[in-house]
Amino acid sequence: MEPAPQELLADLYGYDEDAHFDTTQLGQGLAQQMSPTQLDKLIAAVEATGDAAADLETATALLNETR
């Protein structure tokens, strides 16, 4: 069974609440584990926040909103 996208994010961030990843890092880190459509939506949502990088909590919340 494939891991849920939220689990993929948690693995990518190493469960580090202080880690921040920019859209390039998210794209590279999730490219092989997430559908391109879903990844594009997540990256667009991160970019829409206006922040250069997103923490785990923000990325997870945005992922939940874009599903």
Q: What is the pLDDT of residue 67?
A: 76
Q: What is the pLDDT of residue 2?
A: 72
Residue 25 tokens, joined: 């890092």
Q: What is the pLDDT of residue 17?
A: 85
pTM: 0.88
Please identify every stretch of the chain with a pLDDT value under 50, giving residue numbers as ranges. Answer: none
Q: How many beta carbons lie within 10 A of that of residue 26, not counting itself?
A: 22
Q: What is the pLDDT of residue 16?
A: 92
Return the axis-axis angle of helices 23-30 and 36-48, rounded to nearest 10°.
160
Q: What is the pLDDT of residue 66?
A: 84
pLDDT, tens digit, 9 for 90 and up, residues 42-61: 999 999 999 999 999 999 99
DSSP letter at 16? Answer: -
